[in-house]
Structure formats: C-alpha cells, structure tokens
Structure 1
Amino acid sequence: MGEIRAGTVLPARREDITLHTADGLELVGELALPEDRPPVATLVCLHPLPTAEGMMDSHVQRKASYRLPALAGLAVLRFNTRGTTSARGTSQGEFGEGETERYDVAAAIEYAEYHDLPHPWLLGWSFGTELALTWGRDPGVEGLLLLSPPLHRASDADLDAWGADPDGRPVVALVPEFDDYLRPAEARERFKRIPQAEVVAVDGAKHLWVGEPYVRIVLNEIVKRVAPDAYPLPTEWDISDG
C-alpha cells in the first residue's frame, strides 16, 4: 500500500475531448473514466477565473480527475472555457465575463448527455460556481457542488431560481473559514434563498484550498453526495493495482 499524496495519479481511462459550443467554438478538455467499470456518476468541472490563472488544471479539480475515477467510480470531465489555456491546449474564443460562457456550460452538459455519462453534477470552483448557479439549471443536471462561491456574478435572482426548482435539486457550497470573498456566516445568509442549499464551513481553509488536508476534505464532501458508497475515501492505494 502507498499513501495517496498531492501528486498521486491513480489508474483511469483518460481521453482528450473537444466540446462544441452553440456559437461555433471548440473547447479543449479531458474525460477521465473508471478503468474497469462504468461510472456511477459524473462531475462536470467548471474552473476558477481564467484571468486569474484558473483553468481545467486548477489543482482541486485536477486531483479529482486523478483520484475519483479509481476511488469512487466517477467520471470526471474537465475543460477550458473560451479563451483559456492549460497544458491540454487553448480553447477558442475570448473570455466573456461569465456571459458568453453560458454556451460553454451548455456544451459540457450536452457532451455528458450525448455520451451517456450518468448522473451529472456541476462542480464549480470560484468563477466556476458563478457559471453553475447562473447557467447550470439544465434539466439533466442533478445538483451543484460549489467550492469557494464568491456570489459576485450570480445574482439573488439566480439563487431564487434554484430555490424555486421544482425538483429541489441539491446545492452544496463548501466555504473556507478564511475565504477572500465570502465566508461561512455570510454564505449561510445568502444561500437562505435556496431552501435546499447546504453550506459546509471548512475550518482553516482558504479560497484556493492549498494543502492536502483541505483537498481531502473537499473530495470527501463531493463523494459523500455523488457516490456515497465510496465514502469515506481511502488515504492509501495498493500500488500493485497500478
């Protein structure tokens, strides 16, 4: 057995993908699937602000793709929103201040649906939470997982729309104790507009979730909602398995 560390990459089937938006752009991405079984659910990742170095390789979502296919049987879809660059390449288009990115969110959801990826949840981080709250109310989405939501671009009307969702789809916000933009007490007040919302305060954490202990908390909270049979996640991996 070996300890799962910050740089650990566990076995998965990984393929480069291209998303096609309704306004004619190609977005680069990657899909990671369990190596030897069908996925039990899907995470569609929406990354932090690209003008502040956010991209599909932002570390928490990258580590989700490295670990959760093997540990929890999840499909993890990551992509660069328009105009964003990572090691995978650069997506076409230009940053749209969270407005034209509506087409990017729709393209990712459509990809998951077209490829029969089961039970898709949107996993947004910072700017990505704004995209999820604003543009993620697609009937195919099962719920939202929000890391460090600033609630800058997402309006009260967006929150009210989720609060009025006839299916009461879950909205889970993981809020760092020392977040730069929205801390737990204020988050609880703001998210009261969504009766089914759950705010999880994470002691000691900051907006960027730096540090393996915080990454493990985030991944466990995700799995608890999306693939509860795999909760809690192991901290070791049998290296003979790959």
Structure 2
Amino acid sequence: MAEIRASTVLPARRTDIELQTADGLKLVGELAVPEDRPPVATLVCLHPLPTAEGMMDSHVLRKASYRLPALAGLAVLRFNTRGTSSDRGTSEGEFGEGEAERYDVAAALEWAEYHDLPRTWLLGWSFGTELALRWGRDPLVEGAILLSPPLHRATDADLDAWAEFGRPLVALVPERDDYLRPPEARERFKRVTQAEVVGVDGAKHLWVGEPYVRIVLNEIVKHVAPEAYPLPTEVL
C-alpha cells in the first residue's frame, strides 16, 4: 500500500475538451473519468477568482480530478472561465466580473448534458461559489458544494432563489477564512432551508495542506457518491 500524498495522481481517462459559449467564445478544459467503469456522478468545477490567480488548476480542483475518478467513480469536469489561463491553455474573452460568466457555466452544463454525463453537481470555490449560486440553478444540476463562499457577488436574493430551487447546497467554510467565517455563514445561509454549513477548524480560504484537502474531498464524496465515503488514505 502507498499513502495518498499531495502529489498523487491516480489512474483515470483524461481528455482535453473545449466548451462553446452562447456569446461565441471557446473555453478550454479537461474531463477526467474513471478508467474502468462509467462514472456514477459528475462534478462541474468552478474555479476561484481569475484576477487573483484562480484557474482550473487551482489545487483542490486539480486534486479532485487526480483522485476522485479512481477513488469514488466521479467524472470531474474542469475548465477555465473566459480570459483565464492555465497549463491547459487560455480561454477566449475577458474576465466578466461574474456577470458574463453566466454563459461559461451554461456552456459547461450543456457540454455535460450533451455527453450524457450522469448526476451533475457544481463544485464552486470562492469566486466559483458565486457563479454556482447565481447561474447554476439549472434543471440538470442535482446540487452544489461551495468551498470558501465569500457571499460577495452572490446576494440574499440569490440565496432566496436557491432556496426556491430546492436542490441541496453544502457550504464548507474555513474557521479562519478571510471573507466569511462559520458563524456568519450559518446566519447568511439560514435563508436556504436545505443548506448545510460545515465549519472546518483551522482551515483558511485557500485550503492549503493535505489534511484540509482530504476533508474537502471527503465532504464532496459524502454528498455526491456516499457509497465511496470515507475515502481511503492509501492505495495499492
């Protein structure tokens, strides 16, 4: 047995993809699926703020794609929103302050639907949580998991709309977050009766450190693929 470490990359089928937005842009991305079986569910990843170095390779999203296809049977779709660059390349367009990105979210969901990916969940991190709350209320979406939600661009009206949408909402809130900490988060998310707020002791906004990454990935799996929970810490 070998311990799963921060740099561990487990087997999966990984394919470069391109998304086409309704306003005419091409976005670059990657789909990772289990190597030897159909996926049981799908994560559409929405990355942190691109003007603060957020991208599809932001470490928690990258580690989800490295581990969860093999460990939990998940499909993991990551992409760069408009104007965002990573090793995969640069998506066309310019940063849209979270407004024009509505087309990016829609393009990712359309791609998932067209390619028959099952049981789509949104996984948003920081800025990506704002995109999920504002533009992710699509019939295809089974629920959303929010990492470090700042609730800055997303307003109480967006929370009320998600409450009406009725799909599960899980917010993982670091104890030492720079923007929104667990007590305030619990108060803000009271508007969403189906929301679950999980405070994570010791964690910070960027989830640096393997122990925090494991907490995040386990919470994702607990809700999206509970049969695979808890995740192993070692592999053959």
TM-score range, shorter chain: over 0.9
Structure 2 residue aligned with 1:164: 164
Q: How does 1:24-63 map to 2 (within 5 A)?
A: 24-63=24-63
> Is 2:196 the partner of 1:198?
yes
SS in 2 for 1:191: helix
Structure 1 residue aligned with 2:113: 113
The superposition leaves residues 170-200 of structure 1 with CA deviations (integer Å, 9 ceiling, x where unpaired) of 0000000000000000000000110000000
Counterpart-to-counterpart distance in 2, 1:68 and 1:164: 30
Structure 2 residue aligned with 1:99: 99
Measured after TM superposition, the shift of residue 164 of structure 1 is 1.4
% same residue = 86
Structure 2 unaligned spans of 5+? none
CA RMSD of aligned residues (A): 0.3
SS in 1 for 2:203: strand
SS in 2 for 1:31: strand
Measured after TM superposition, the shift of residue 202 of structure 1 is 0.3
TM-score by length of 2: 1.00
Structure 1 residue aligned with 2:88: 88
Measured after TM superposition, the shift of residue 110 of structure 1 is 0.4
Structure 2 residue aligned with 1:209: 207
Measured after TM superposition, the shift of residue 146 of structure 1 is 0.1
Q: How does 1:140-155 map to 2 (within 5 A)?
A: 140-155=140-155
SS in 2 for 1:146: strand
Counterpart-to-counterpart distance in 2, 1:122 and 1:230: 18
How many aligned residue pairs are there? 236
Code of the aligned partner of 2:111 = Y
Measured after TM superposition, the shift of residue 20 of structure 1 is 0.3
Structure 2 residue aligned with 1:19: 19
SS in 2 for 1:98: coil
Structure 1 unaligned spans of 5+? none
SS in 2 for 1:199: strand
Code of the aligned partner of 1:118 = P
The superposition leaves residues 40-99 of structure 1 with CA deviations (integer Å, 9 ceiling, x where unpaired) of 000000000000000000000000000000000000000000000000000000000000
SS in 2 for 1:108: helix
Measured after TM superposition, the shift of residue 19 of structure 1 is 0.3
